[in-house]
Amino acid sequence: MKTIDDLERELGGLSGKRVLVRADLNVPLSGSTITDDGRIRASVPTVERLAAAGARVVVCAHLGRPKGEPDPRYSVRPAYERLAELLPGRTVSFAEDVTGPSAQRTVAALGDGDVAVLENLRFDARETSKDAAERGALADELAALADAYVSDGFGVVHREQASVYDVAQRLPHAAGGLVVAEVESFAKVLEDPARPYAVVLGGSKVSDKLAVIDNLLGKVDRLLVGGGMCFTFLKAQGHDVGDSLLEEDQVDTVRGLIARAERDGVRLVLPVDVVVSTEISDDAATRVVPADAIPAGQKGLDIGPASVALFREQLADARTVVWNGPMGVFEKRPFAEGTRGVAQAIADVDGFSVVGGGDSAAAVRALGLDESAFGHVSTGGGASLELLEGKVLPGLAVLEQ
């Protein structure tokens, strides 16, 4: 796929050109306060690269899940304000609509090196429409605001949406620096990984990760499973899991995966102890019990210290590591240490590590870990998962055209 350097050559320079950037500004909010600005910070290098070349940068993005119409709770204004703070010295303006009069005026007023941010794309129902003609109509309006298009919102490249897929077919286009870095990082772990190759999976539901496991079992040397999904594995091995999260309808499927891992020579590593409680709160009473002896009435809510030590041992000599999903309910203090310990073990690996976006990336930041200690921290939860599943992502495929 073409890069911004390629686009610059194609256009004979970027100065004075209006460049529409599909960014990912979908950050968590508490009221109007951003609680994790990781995705905004990740978007800055591409915006600054274009602005420094004299482009007139038009940033479009979504936030949350409005119902296809304006809703002040989901305005991207807080993200715009944070982006403006991260671009000192730049004139950064805000349009009150997506492609309407405010957007048109705001873009027309841009000077070379200026930046504009459009209102939430999902305030327009056409953005996510299943009807290609409806999406195309919005893509036409977005394309009219620009001379070129840069895809830099990795978190949405698995979506066939107007600003991700259709507009790229209407303008000279390129991948932004963030998308290039994401694609290159996942290629390292999917195409020719250095070995030993370990994958660490967590999160609540095994059903969310079945396709990932199915695709990776033939590629990895070790599969380490924690989080709520581990209890379905433990149940498949014949252990009682108390009141822990369990997908009963997946037990037989998981039993088959366990057998396949053994047949293919993949070392499957499950927790040997877990932190249990009857409640999920910051002051919950907890105790550590063996993973095969969870008492009735108790919920497993984190992996225990012996499991962290085991996972660290299995990761110590790894040359490639992919991590997707926390080891427990890390948002609550009594259940954060499993995720912290495993994350630190991954950070300490000498080889190349990828943190697969979503809750994993959020955990890295929430627990105060050094992002630079990892090879790559992805900005895309769903997009990361679909790449790990081996799928072709429409927002990437269209950039090859």
User: Is 134 exposed, middle or buried, given 0-12, 13-18 or 19+ CB atoms closer than 10 A?
Assistant: middle
299 is in an annotated binding site: no
Instruction: Give bridge partners of residue 181 from the DSSP assignment.
Output: none
Contacts of 97 (CB under 8 A, 6+ apart): 70, 103, 118, 119, 123
Active site residue 358: yes
Does 39 appear as a known binding residue?
yes
Residue 357 annotated as lining a ligand binding site = yes
Terminal C-alpha separation, the chain: 8
> What residues form DSSP beta bridges with 201?
225, 324
Check the annotation: does 73 bind a ligand: no
Q: Is 100 in the active site?
A: no
Catalytic residue, candidates 205, 260, 319, 365: 205
The three-class DSSP label of residue 323 is strand
Q: Which residues pair with 173 in a beta bridge?
A: 149
Strands 376-377 and 173-175: unpaired
Q: Is 333 annotated as a binding residue?
A: no
CA torsion angle 271 276 280 284 (round to 10): -130
360 marked as part of a ligand binding site: yes
57 pairs with which residues across the strands?
A: 19, 115
Binding residue per annotation — 304? no
CA 257 vs. chain centroid, Å, equals: 25
Q: Which residues contact 352 (CB under 8 A, 6 or more apart)?
A: 188, 189, 194, 319, 320, 321, 375, 376
Q: Tell me: is residue 170 an annotated ligand-binding position.
A: no
Q: Is 382 an active-site residue?
A: yes
Q: Which of 348, 344, 350 is nearest to 363 (CA)?
A: 344
> Which of 18, 22, 39, 126 is labelled catalytic?
39
Sequence-distant (≥ 6) Cβ neighbours of residue 303 within 8 angstroms: 226, 227, 230, 271, 273, 274, 275, 311, 327, 328, 338, 342
63 is in an annotated binding site: yes
176 a known binding residue? Answer: no
Is 242 labelled as part of a ligand binding site?
Answer: no
Does 300 count as an annotated binding residue? Answer: yes
Whether 370 has a binding-site annotation, put simply, is no
- Among all chains, which residue has been given the structure tokens 């290098």? 45
Query: 57 near 90, Cβ under 8 Å?
Result: no
Residue of 358, 375, 381, 395 marked active site: 358
- Kindly report the number of other CB atoms within 10 A of residue 36's CB atom: 14
- Residue 159 labelled as part of a binding site: yes
Q: Establish whether 25 is an annotated binding residue.
A: yes
Could you tell me which residues are annotated as the binding site for (2R)-3-phosphoglycerate?
39, 122, 159
Could you tell me which residues are annotated as the binding site for substrate?
24-26, 39, 62-65, 122, 159
Could you tell me which residues are annotated as the binding site?
24-26, 39, 62-65, 122, 159, 209, 300, 331, 357-360
Catalytic residues: 39, 205, 358, 382
Could you tell me which residues are annotated as the binding site for ATP?
209, 300, 331, 357-360
